[in-house]
Structure 1
Amino acid sequence: MGEISRRRADWSNLRVFFAVAETGGINAAARALQINPSTVTRAIEELERQLNATLFHRGPRGATLTEAGEAAFQRVRTMERMAEALELEVGDSETLAEGRVRLAAPDGVAGYFISPHQTEFLRAHPGIDLSIDCGLWPDRPLDGEADLTLTFSEPTQPDAVAQPIAYVHYALFASREYVSLYGAPKTIEDMLHHPYIHHSAQTHQKELWGERVQAWQTLTHKRIETNSSSVCVQAVLNGVGIGAMPTAIASVEPDLVMLDVLTVGPAKLWLVHHRDAVRPARVRLVKDWLKAIFDPKTRPWYRSEFVHPDDFAAEADKADGASKGVRKAG
């Protein structure tokens, strides 16, 4: 193995050899490569020593290939073409908005807050495909490591780039039909008389929900307990009971009514990726798209301060007016 390594031609020397053969002279190759002519000479001499062959006839009119040099040139030209093809192929994957982007996100976030915006994005970028892993089948994950991850857990990996992309406030919701039939509870104690749709994540987020709410959740009648946000939303929509959800749900499900009994949060939603993950253009585009989806300027329910669903439209209009004013001033 050591003998093979010793005799293998250096790539940089082959590059210099190719330049001399293409330009026909030491000085011309030096100018093309922007290096010193003596460096070119040393590279050719080293390559000839490694190959144990004379590659050029040197004369007053420049350097011409010997028979061995011509054979070497044909091989190196093939290598050069392969290198160019590789650059184009890999370069395209970095600069063109094409290929698959893998996103990991909680099922509720993906299903209710990302999915409604997919059509517009994918129509604008027909070369991009999405894989969205919601973690519901741990034994059957989607292929490949996620390029981008949305999570409510603050990342601790040293090589991770993380930023809070949204603040999520929680409140109690019921369907309009449920409120019409059974009335709306006025206090958290009143909630004990209503069936509750419980998401198991609320049990583990003690720092978010607090001891008082935890105690209430222990006493309340959990009509349905699940680890699926979709099950919670659909159960509440269909009048099974009352459930705690992000206030943002009111922006996509107008049949849900926020009950002015309890507000919790905010919880930070983090956008996380490896430092090199966003080099391809397709990943950068998806990252920018996600940031636009959760932009608190245009969607006030993602602000750090609490905004009541009754004020969503007014706050969004206010932000839109301010944006138009800035554009007009500019």
Structure 2
Amino acid sequence: MADIARRRADWSALRVFFAVAEAGGINAAARALNLSPSTVTRTIEDLEHQLNVTLFARSPRGMSLTEAGEMAYQRVLTMERTAATLEMEIGDLEALPEGKVKLAVPDGVAGYFITPFLPELLRAHPGLDLSVDCGLWPDRPLDGEAELTVSYSEPTVGDLVARPIAYMHYACFASREYINLYGELNGPEELLKHPYVHHVAHTHQREVWTEEQKALQVLTNKRIQTNSSAVVVQAVKNGIGVAFLPTAILSVEPDLVMVEGIPPVAPMKLWMVHHREATRSARIRAVADWLKSIFDGRTRPWYRAEFVHPRDFSLPAVAAAKALAPA
């Protein structure tokens, strides 16, 4: 083993050889490496002695590679490219999470379930800036392609990584005043007697709905139709009618009431999507890790795959969840 080690060319010597081959002469290579010409000359001579070959043909016009030198040059060129790639990849992993990260997130998820926890992220990483595209103004798009997407749709094409980060359990909700005024809804058929606030995007993952739930969506008295989650929540809060909302809404609107007589809809997966190479960047990785933490079902049971009844995560569980979240 010791003999093999002695026969191996030194990395620093190969770097000098590469510089001479690229520059075509000792003096130019010495300037590029910030070394003396005598040091460069001695390094090349030692390398040739070690390899027992002549790497350069010397002439008054400069230095040119011999056949052995050309072979060595091609090998060292591959090594240089590998080193450059390694430096870029590892450098990204170790870099500080600074700069802008663009998110694409549905407006309700962004407004109700992500924004309240933004202070945690920005305090932990003061060099980060966020661009949050909720898709509400197609004629005023935010610059750049989204680097992280949170979506109810799983992508099926492209070089993308998609993982479920939360399960949204949709149930029927009303305001407490509405229930006090009109009474409890004691079965799915009673939903047809009440004004319904309908979000037009509430069609994702319908394959998990029962036939009865699909029929109810068609037959309900849609008093309000909207593409805004904020409109749905505010309409329900103000007693206009009932709507299906994720049980997670109680973490930010604890005065709403889940209607016990209407069975919850099967959960919908919330996906985090990004290009395969994206999380090599420290800034994107920091935001991705933060997103996973705020949708962690261990501290926020409303995001678990199994249905957890709101009475089992009655607030102040929210305060406890925030206290457990990473700073």
Instruction: Give the residue type in structure 1 aligned to 2:283.
Output: R
CA displacement at 1:142 relative to structure 2: 1.1
Partner of 2:163: 163
- Following the alignment from structure 1 to structure 2, what is the Cα–Cα distance between the partners of residues 269 and 176? 28
CA distance in 1, matches of 2:248, 2:136: 22
Q: Which amino acid aligns with 2:215?
A: A
Per the TM alignment, residue 211 of structure 1 is displaced from its structure 2 partner at its CA by 2.1
The answer to whether residue 220 in structure 2 is matched with residue 220 in structure 1 is yes
8 A contact 1:166–1:296 mirrored in 2: yes
Gaps of 5+ in 2: 1-17, 64-83
What is the match of residue 28 of structure 1?
43
Aligned to 2:254: 254
Aligned 8 A contact 1:29 1:40 in 2: no
CA contact (8 A) 1:198 1:243 kept: yes
The Cα shift of 1:196 comes to 0.4
How far apart, CA to CA, are the structure 2 residues paired with 1:242 and 1:232? 9
Aligned counterpart, 2:298: 297
CA distance in 2, matches of 1:163, 1:35: 54
Instruction: Label 1:277 to 1:41 Cα distance change in 2 as closer, same or farther (>3 A).
Output: farther
Q: Number of matched residues?
A: 274
Q: 1:126 to 1:159 in 2, by over 3 A?
A: same
CA distance in 2 between partners of 1:218 and 1:200 (Å): 12
**Within-5 A mapping of 1:19-168:** 22-23=35-36, 24-28=39-43, 42=55, 45=57, 53-54=61-62, 91=91, 95-168=95-168
Paired AA for residue 307 in structure 2: F
8 Å contact kept, 1:203–1:214: no
Letter in 2 for 1:160: L
Q: CA 1:315/1:308 → structure 2, altered by over 3 Å: closer, same or farther?
A: farther
Shift of the alpha carbon at 1:282?
A: 0.9
How far did 1:235 drift?
0.8
Distance 1:118 1:290 in 2: 10
- The answer to whether the aligner puts 1:188 opposite 2:188 as a matched pair is yes
Give the structure-1-normalised TM-score.
0.73
Pairwise CA distance, 1:280: 1.4
Q: Is the 8 A contact 2:188 2:263 kept in 1?
A: yes
Give the superposition deviation at 1:155. Answer: 1.4
1:168·1:301 contact (CA, 8 Å) conserved in 2?
yes
The verdict on how the C-alpha distance between 1:166 and 1:36 changes in structure 2, with shifts beyond 3 A counting, is: farther
Q: Distance in 1 between matches of 2:229 and 2:214?
A: 19
Identity score, percent: 56
Which amino acid in 2 is paired with 1:174? A
Rounded to whole Å, the distance in 2 between the matches of 1:53 and 1:221 is 90
Is residue 172–residue 245 contact of structure 1 (8 Å, CA) maintained in 2? yes
| Counterpart residue number, 1:197 | 197
CA distance 1:203–1:288, shift in 2 (3 Å): closer
Normalising by the residue count of structure 2, what TM-score does the alignment of the two structures yield?
Answer: 0.73
Is the Cα–Cα contact under 8 Å of residues 105 and 150 in structure 1 kept in the other structure? yes
CA RMSD of aligned residues (A): 3.5
Other structure's SS at 1:139 match: coil
CA distance in 1, matches of 2:218, 2:178: 23
The 1:93/1:127 distance shift into structure 2, 3 A limit, reads farther
Map Cα deviations across residues 205-235 of structure 1 (whole Å, 9 max, x no partner).
4313332122122222111011111111111
- Go from structure 1 to structure 2 and tell me whether the alpha carbon gap of 1:137 and 1:29 turns closer, same or farther (over 3 Å shift): farther
Residue 161 of structure 1 aligns to a residue whose secondary structure is strand
Report the more deviating stretch, 119-128 or 210-219.
210-219
- Further displaced range: 302-311 or 180-189: 180-189
1:271 matched to which residue of 2?
A: 272
Structure 1 pair 278–36 and aligned structure 2 pair: CA distance change class (3 A): farther
Listed one character per residue, the Cα deviations across residues 229-258 of structure 1 (whole Å, up to 9, x for unaligned) are 111111111111100011110111011111
Q: Cα gap change, 1:172/1:93 in structure 2, threshold over 3 Å: closer, same or farther?
A: same
Structure 1: give runs of 5+ residues left out of the alignment.
Answer: 1-9, 56-83, 324-330
Q: CA 1:35–1:282 in structure 2 vs 1: closer, same or farther (change >3 Å)? A: farther
Output the CA distance in 2 between the equivalents of 1:285 and 1:189: 47
Shift of 1:125: 1.2
**Structure 2 CA distance for aligned equivalents of residues 176 and 35 of structure 1:** 87
Residues 54 and 235 (structure 1 numbering): CA distance in 2 closer, same or farther, change over 3 Å?
same
**What CA distance in whole angstroms lies between the structure 1 residues aligned with 2:92 and 2:208?**
45
